Amino acid sequence: MAKALEEDIGTGDLTALYFVPADRRATALLVARQAGVIAGTSLAEGIFRKVDASLEVSVMIEDGSRVAPGAIVMKISGAARSILTAERTALNFMQRLSGIATQTHEYVKAVDGTQARILDTRKTTPGWRALEKAAVVSGGGTNHRMGLYDRVMVKDNHLVSEGGMQELRQSIHRLLADHPDVEVELEADRLEQVSAFLTMEEVDYILLDNMSLDELRQAVEMRGMRTRPMLEASGGVTLQTVRAIAKTGVDFISVGALTHSVQAMDLALDFVSS
C-alpha cells in the first residue's frame, strides 16, 4: 500500500494542491459499473485512511458479495483533496482484485454440482500474491500453495537424475524427515506415471498435466475408492472446458487464468452533493 501511494503521489499531488481549495469538503461513492464480485475493500479503505486519517470511510458491500451495475460499494467523506489523491490507487487495487474474484466465481459456477474445486496458481502479479489469492477466495475458489515453501510440487524439470522411483521416494523421505507437515505433490503427464505414483503412500496429490478427458477419467478409475492421493487437473483450462474436466471426477482443477490474465472490473468514484 505504502509503495503504491508513493509511486503515484511522489512529492505531492500537484493537481489537487493547486486546483482544489484546502477547505473544500466532499462525499464520493465507489460504484460498480458492471456486475461482478467485490474484493479488496479493506485495502481500499486503508488507502483512503493512509492518505488522510480524518476521512470517513464506510464499506457498504463486503468482499465476496455479488453486485449489479450501480451498486454502491463504499462511501468516503472529508477533504476533497485527500479523496482525489487516494482515488486512483484505491481503484487500481479494487478493480484488479474484483476482476479476479469475478472470474473465479465464473469458474466456480461452471463446475457447480461436481466434486471439483477450483484452484489458483503461483502465476500472480509479483508482490500481490497474498492479495490476489485472497480475491480468489472471495470469488469462491480455493488457494493452492502460497509459494515454494509450503508444499512440494515435483515436476519433470525437477527429475533431472536417472535415479527413477527409488531416488524419488528417498528424496521424499528426506523432505518429510525435516518437514513432516509439508504436503507432497507429483506431476504426471502420462498414465504410467500415475500408476507408479499411486503406489507411494507419501504422496498427497498427483497433478494430471495436460491430459485428455479420457486420460483424466482413467486416472480417477486407477485411484479407485481411495481418497488419497487427491487428483488435480491442470493445463489449458478455460471456461468452455472446465465443466467437462470436472465431470471426469478429479478433485481439483487449477486455473492460471484466474490471476495471470484477468480483466479488471469496472469500478468508479463518483462525487455527489453532500
Same domain (yes/no): 35, 50: yes
pLDDT more than 70, % of the chain: 97
Residue 4 has pLDDT above 70, yes or no: yes
Same domain (yes/no): 143, 268: no
What one-character DSSP code corresponds to residue 65?
Answer: -
* pLDDT tens per residue, range 231-243: 999 998 999 999 9
pTM of the model: 0.94
pLDDT at 164: 77
* pLDDT tens per residue, range 39-53: 999 999 999 999 999
* Residue 169 near residue 202, CB atoms below 8 Å: yes
* pLDDT tens per residue, range 153-205: 998 755 645 567 888 899 999 999 999 999 999 999 999 999 999 999 999 99
Domain count for the chain, please give it: 2
Same domain (yes/no): 191, 237: yes
The domain spanning residue 25 has which CATH number?
A: 3.90.1170.20
Direct distance between the N- and C-terminal alpha carbons of the chain, in angstroms, rounded to an integer: 28
Of the candidates 254, 267, 205, the one whose C-alpha atom is nearest the C-alpha of residue 33 is 267
Same domain (yes/no): 73, 200: no
Q: Which of 13, 120, 187, 232 is catalytic?
A: 187
Q: Residue 233 sits in which domain range?
A: 109-260
Same domain (yes/no): 142, 195: yes
Average pLDDT over residues 26-50: 98
* Residue 76 near residue 45, CB atoms below 8 Å: no
Same domain (yes/no): 119, 226: yes
Same domain (yes/no): 93, 136: no
Q: Which of 87, 132, 209, 232 is catalytic?
A: 209
Same domain (yes/no): 44, 133: no
Known catalytic residue at 155: yes
Q: Which of 88, 109, 151, 169 is catalytic?
A: 88
Same domain (yes/no): 140, 7: no
Residue 112 has pLDDT above 80, yes or no: yes
Same domain (yes/no): 89, 138: no
What is d(CA 168, CA 161) in angstroms, rounded to the nearest whole number?
A: 10
User: Chain-wide mean pLDDT for the chain?
Assistant: 95
pLDDT at 273: 78
Known catalytic residue at 270: no
Report the 3 state secondary structure along 141-152: CECCCCCCCCEE
Same domain (yes/no): 116, 246: yes
3-state helix, strand, coil split of the chain in percent (to 5) is: 40, 20, 40
Of the candidates 217, 39, 270, 204, the one whose C-alpha atom is nearest the C-alpha of residue 133 is 39
Known catalytic residue at 247: no
Same domain (yes/no): 76, 141: no
Residue 274 has pLDDT above 70, yes or no: no
Average pLDDT over residues 81-86: 98
Known catalytic residue at 109: no
Known catalytic residue at 133: no
The pair phi, psi for residue 240, each rounded to 5°, is -80, -25
